Chain A
Amino acid sequence: MSGITSALQHHHKQCDEDFAEAEDAARKGDWATCAANYGKFRTELLAHFGVEEEVLFPAFEQRTGMAGGPTQVMRGEHVQMRDLIKQMDEALAQKNADGFGGAAETLLIMMQQHNMKEENILYPMIDQALGQDGEIQSRVTAGLNA
């Protein structure tokens, strides 16, 4: 797949790695490793949301005129995932393994079903609407690597 969204799809997978390490470390009470991996994961995830919300979704909405549709639903899910990130921040600060694990598990499923909807439905729509828009593509890449 060579559309604009292929970088984002790849990025989904990359976020998973750091997540798994952080979750395992919290379970073992290894809070230093947990903090390091969770920090990486958190940065990646928020960068991903940022690129979608600030670059990709507005471009799609402008091109198609679909402002209240799927992109709005995805923004709502981003809000829910940010809430879970906040819960994980607090659990990490308090070294609360149960709280961290519970919020992590919820975030994992939320994130995976969210990715599934994006990859199966929204990204193909976006690729179709935006085609090979070079400018957007470079802004997406820049945002993910920032």
Chain B
Amino acid sequence: MQPGLSFEQAPPISVPFRFFLTAPLFGMAAGLLLLWQGPAALASRWTSAALALTHLLAVGFMLQAMCGALLQMLPVAAGANIWQPRRVTQFTHAGLTVGTLLLVAGFLFETAWFFRIAVPFMTVSLGAFALIVLIALFRTPAQGPTIIALRIAVFGLIVTITLGATLASSFGWQLALPLTEITHVHAAWGLGGWSLLLVAGVAYLVVPMFQLTPPYPAWLTRSFSVTLFFLLAAWSITWLPLQRPDGFQVALACAAALLAVVFAAVTLRLQAQRRRKVIEPTLLFWRVAMASLVVAASAVIVQQLNPGTEDYAGTPFLLGVLLMVGVFMPVISGMLYKIMPFLNWMHLQKIGRPGLVVPNMRQMIPEPRMMMQFRLHLAALALLLGAVPLPWLVYPGGVALIASCIWLEWNLVVATRNFARFSRELEERLAQEQAPSS
């Protein structure tokens, strides 16, 4: 099959938008849970509330937005056509949304039957999504580092889902499994193998594209995803309960974290060399994300080299905030502020005809509103990091997180409503043009 190169392959605008409009709602829920728990949220990563919180952000916010963006992006950026795009997206969105609710309910109420429903539900919907995307990525004639990073990322998602389903099954059916070990590996693949590689694959394309920076150096794009994959795989094997070569495990974890630092540092350097001088929200979100990644990955190295820090409950909270609130939520917000206005414009083009002026991207979401959300998110990040030494800061931090997510949601709603309004106006103008001649 020839690549279409066309947006015709892409699903209707409502399909990706439903993912994007759902994601911030889970972010708000996470903020509310933080307020409800207060400083207890920092007590341990193993409490029901901490697990619910993690999954509200990682699955509810991050995975939701990432799936929507990936489905939209594949035909355009990778020339990869999705089988039955409309059905697949609807099925994935429903599965992911209901699945997240079931999973979080299972953690919060510690009720086995929530997990018993969530496991088949999420495994089927997410598993099908991952397989269909992976097939599309292997069938595309396009090549290059992005395609390789995306293939490994989706493989990482499959590992994450498999281990997650195993863990949830053990809660649902009281299976005796080494939960701690599986959780470590599950989290590493979810954050590193899937999320970070997805961000890297996308970054190779969009960092030069949005800011007109030099391209990523070939030594990085050629080696980053493959090396990270092998480090993660080797590190995962050291968790097998045969024996525990501690030094080797620490070395692998540090090497993987160091690789993440290199990626973030190269991205920051490229952005510093950008030819486009305009400072805009997407650039700021990316810069915060890459700075947070440098700090988070360095913290992982410090933690690995100082075994005692693991016992300090603030460590996992710190890493979780840095990675989810500091790295992935900002990248996603910044990307949504480009993707949604561009899709609006693109779909409006289809309604109009050549020569008919369609509102441009800047008219979809007012820039000051995006900047406001950026500031709120930065405040949430700072306050939640501050909560590690000063636990009461978790209250203003939770409020700021909710405010940032409400603002994001509202900005995305504005984009959606503007699309509807501009479509109507275009149709009216077309009708008026045709009226005199008929």
Tally of A-B Cβ pairs under 8 angstroms: 84
Contact present for A73 and B212 (CB under 8 Å): no
Contact present for B6 and A106 (CB under 8 Å): no
> B349: which A residues are within 8 A, CB to CB?
80
A120 at the interface (CB under 8 A from B): yes
CB distance from B333 to the nearest CB of A (A): 17
A112 at the interface (CB under 8 A from B): yes
Indicate whether A120 sits within 8 Å of B209 (C-beta atoms), given known contacts A23-B278, A102-B362, A106-B360: no
Indicate whether A105 sits within 8 Å of B79 (C-beta atoms), given known contacts A116-B209, A120-B143: no
Contact present for B338 and A73 (CB under 8 Å): no
> A24: which B residues are within 8 A, CB to CB?
276-278
- How many angstroms from the CA of A66 to the CA of B2 in the assembled complex? 10
Interface of A is mostly: helix
Contact present for B338 and A121 (CB under 8 Å): no
Identify 5 residue pairs between A and B in the complex whose beta-carbon atoms are under 8 Å apart, listed by A's number. A16-B275, A70-B2, A79-B354, A84-B360, A87-B360
Contact present for A106 and B357 (CB under 8 Å): no
CB distance from B301 to the nearest CB of A (A): 35
Contact present for B278 and A112 (CB under 8 Å): no
- How many angstroms from the CA of A122 to the CA of B142 in the assembled complex? 10
> B77: which A residues are within 8 A, CB to CB?
113, 116
User: How does the 8 Å CB contact mask read for A109-126 relative to B, with 1 for contact and 0 for none?
Assistant: 110110011001110000
Give the A-binding residues of B (Cβ under 8 A).
2-6, 76-77, 79, 141-144, 205, 209-210, 212, 275-278, 338, 342, 345, 349, 354-355, 357-358, 360-363
Give the B-binding residues of A (Cβ under 8 A).
16-17, 19-20, 23-24, 27, 66, 69-70, 73-74, 79-80, 83-84, 87, 98-99, 101-103, 105-106, 108-110, 112-113, 116-117, 120-122
> A98: which B residues are within 8 A, CB to CB?
362
Interface of B is mostly: loop
CB distance from B165 to the nearest CB of A (A): 35
> A73: which B residues are within 8 A, CB to CB?
4-6
- How many angstroms from the CA of A13 to the CA of B246 in the assembled complex? 49
> A99: which B residues are within 8 A, CB to CB?
360
Q: Which of B79, B355, B363 makes the CB contact (< 8 A) with A102?
A: B363
- How many angstroms from the CA of A69 to the CA of B1 in the assembled complex? 11
> A83: which B residues are within 8 A, CB to CB?
354-355, 357-358
Contact present for A70 and B360 (CB under 8 Å): no
Contact present for B360 and A102 (CB under 8 Å): yes
Closest 3 interchain pairs by CB?
Answer: A102-B362, A102-B360, A112-B209
Contact present for A20 and B363 (CB under 8 Å): no
Q: Which of B212, B278, B357, B360 makes the CB contact (< 8 A) with A16?
A: B212
- How many angstroms from the CA of A36 to the CA of B212 in the assembled complex? 20
> A106: which B residues are within 8 A, CB to CB?
342, 345, 360-362
Q: Which of A20, A66, A69, A121 makes the CB contact (< 8 A) with B142?
A: A121
> From B73, which residue of chain A is reached at the shortest CB distance?
A113
> A70: which B residues are within 8 A, CB to CB?
2-5
Q: Which of B79, B141, B277 makes the CB contact (< 8 A) with A20?
A: B277
- How many angstroms from the CA of A117 to the CA of B276 in the assembled complex? 22
> A122: which B residues are within 8 A, CB to CB?
5
> B210: which A residues are within 8 A, CB to CB?
108-109, 112
> B4: which A residues are within 8 A, CB to CB?
70, 73
Contact present for B360 and A120 (CB under 8 Å): no
CB distance from B138 to the nearest CB of A (A): 16
CB distance from B308 to the nearest CB of A (A): 48
- How many angstroms from the CA of A17 to the CA of B6 in the assembled complex? 27
Indicate whether A20 sits within 8 Å of B275 (C-beta atoms), given known contacts A106-B360, A117-B5, A122-B5: yes
Contact present for B275 and A17 (CB under 8 Å): yes
- How many angstroms from the CA of A112 to the CA of B77 in the assembled complex? 10
Contact present for B362 and A87 (CB under 8 Å): no
> A84: which B residues are within 8 A, CB to CB?
360
